[in-house]
Amino acid sequence: MEQVYPVDFFDGMQAGAKPALMYFNAEGIFIQLGQYWNKEDSVLFYNYHQCKTQQTGNELFVFLNKDATNYISFSVNGSFVQDLKQQLERKDSSFAGSLLRMNAFTLLLMVLLLFSGVYWAISTIVPWAGLKLIKPKTETTLGEKMHESMMRGETIDEKRTALLQQFAKELQLSKDYPIKLTVVKNKEVNAYAIPGGNIVVYTGIIKAMKSPDELAALLGHEAAHINERHSLKSILRSAATGLLVSVVLNDVSGIFSIIVENAEGLRTMHFSRGIEANADEEGMKLLVKNGIHPLAMKKLMQRLKENTPEIPDAFSFMLSHPATDERIKHANEFAIPYKKSSFAPNPVLDSLWSELK
Amino acid sequence: MEYNKYNLVFKGSGFEYLKIQLVNIILTIITLGLYYPWAKARTLHFFYGNTLFNNQPFVFTGTGSEMFKGFIKAFLLLMGVYAIVVYLALNEQELVGIVLLYIFLVLIIPFAIHGSYRYRFAKTVWSGIRFGYMGDKWELFFLCIKGTILTIFTFGIYGAWFAMNLRRYLLCNVKIGDARFAYKGVGGEYFWLNVKGYILTIITFGIYFFWWQKDLFNYFVDNLRLTKDDQTMLIRSTAKGDDFLVLILVNLLLFVFTLGLATPWIIVRSTKFIMEHISLDGTIAFDELRQTQANYSDATGEDIADFLDFGFII
* B92: pLDDT strictly greater than 80: no
* Residues A202 and A160 sit within 8 Å (Cβ to Cβ): no
Give the pLDDT score at A151: 85
Summarize pLDDT for B138-156 with one digit per residue, the tens. Answer: 999 999 999 999 999 999 8
User: ipTM above 0.90?
Assistant: no
Report the percent of chain B where pLDDT is more than 90. 50
Summarize pLDDT for B163-218 with one digit per residue, the tens. Answer: 999 999 999 999 998 899 999 989 999 999 999 999 999 999 988 999 999 999 99
Q: How far is B216 from chain A (nearest CA, A)?
A: 24
Interface residue of B22, B25, B34 to substitute, partner A, most A CBs within 10 Å: B22
Q: Chain A residues with CB inside 8 Å of B27's CB?
A: 95-96, 99
Q: Chain A residues with CB inside 8 Å of B287's CB?
A: 14-17
Q: Chain B residues with CB inside 8 Å of A121's CB?
A: none
Confidence of residue A265 (pLDDT cuts 50, 70, 90): low
CA–CA distance, B268 with B12 (Å, rounded to integer): 7
Q: How far is A85 from chain B (nearest CA, A)?
A: 18
A258 touches chain B (CB under 8 A): no
Q: How far is A300 from chain B (nearest CA, A)?
A: 45
CA–CA distance, A200 with B135 (Å, rounded to integer): 66
Of A17, A61, A111, the CB nearest to B26: A111
Q: Chain B residues with CB inside 8 Å of A111's CB?
A: 22, 25-26
Summarize pLDDT for A303-335 with one digit per residue, the tens. Answer: 877 776 544 444 344 444 456 777 888 888 888
Mean pLDDT of B93-110: 85
Give the pLDDT score at B237: 92
Give the pLDDT score at A254: 44
> How many A-B residue pairs are in contact by the CB < 8 A criterion?
103
Q: How far is A255 from chain B (nearest CA, A)?
A: 7
A144 touches chain B (CB under 8 A): no
Mean pLDDT of B279-303: 82
Q: Chain B residues with CB inside 8 Å of A71's CB?
A: 128
Report the percent of chain A where pLDDT is more than 70. 85
Q: How many CA atoms lie within 13 A of A192 on its CB side?
A: 19
Residue B65, H or E segment? helix B64-90
Give the pLDDT score at A318: 41
* Residue A118: closest C-alpha in chain B: B29
Q: Chain B residues with CB inside 8 Å of A66's CB?
A: 61
Q: Chain A residues with CB inside 8 Å of B26's CB?
A: 99, 107, 110-111, 114
Number of other residues whose CB lies within 10 A of the CB of residue B159: 19
Scan residues 200-219 of A and list those with Cβ closer than 8 Å to B.
Answer: none
Judge: domain A5-90, CATH 2.30.29.30.
Answer: yes
Q: Chain B residues with CB inside 8 Å of A108's CB?
A: 22
CA–CA distance, B283 with B227 (Å, rounded to integer): 9
Give the pLDDT score at B251: 93
Q: How far is A41 from chain B (nearest CA, A)?
A: 23
CA–CA distance, B159 with A326 (Å, rounded to integer): 61
Number of other residues whose CB lies within 10 A of the CB of residue A327: 24
Scan residues 114-133 of A and list those with Cβ closer than 8 Å to B.
Answer: 114-115, 118
Q: What is the mean pLDDT of chain B?
A: 88
* Residue B292: closest C-alpha in chain A: A13
A10 touches chain B (CB under 8 A): yes
Q: Chain B residues with CB inside 8 Å of A61's CB?
A: 57
CB contact under 8 A, B287 and A69: no
Give the pLDDT score at A266: 52
Give the pLDDT score at B170: 92
Report the percent of chain B where pLDDT is more than 70. 97
Of A14, A61, A255, the CB nearest to B57: A61
Give the pLDDT score at A76: 85
Q: Chain B residues with CB inside 8 Å of A73's CB?
A: 56
Report the percent of chain A where pLDDT is more than 90. 4
Confidence of residue A354 (pLDDT cuts 50, 70, 90): confident
Q: What is the mean pLDDT of chain A?
A: 80
Backbone angles phi, psi at A125, to 5 degrees: -70, -45
Summarize pLDDT for A179-226 with one digit per residue, the tens. Answer: 899 999 988 888 888 888 889 899 888 888 888 888 888 888 888 888
* A21: pLDDT strictly greater than 70: yes
Summarize pLDDT for A241-263 with one digit per residue, the tens. Answer: 776 666 665 544 444 555 555 55
CA–CA distance, A334 with A332 (Å, rounded to integer): 5
Give the pLDDT score at A313: 44
Summarize pLDDT for A125-161 with one digit per residue, the tens. Answer: 888 888 888 888 888 888 888 888 888 888 888 889 9
* Residue B18: closest C-alpha in chain A: A104
Number of other residues whose CB lies within 10 A of the CB of residue A246: 10
Give the pLDDT score at A310: 47
Q: What is the dihedral of CA B291, B294, B298, B303, to 10 degrees?
A: -40
- Three-state DSSP at A27 gives coil
Alpha helices in chain A (DSSP H): 81-88, 95-101, 104-133, 136-150, 158-169, 203-208, 212-227, 230-248, 255-289, 295-306, 317-320, 324-335, 347-356
Confidence of residue B254 (pLDDT cuts 50, 70, 90): very high
Q: Edge-to-edge strand order for the sheet containing A28-33? A: A44-47, A28-33, A18-24, A5-10, A71-75, A59-63, A52-56
CB contact under 8 A, A14 and B290: yes
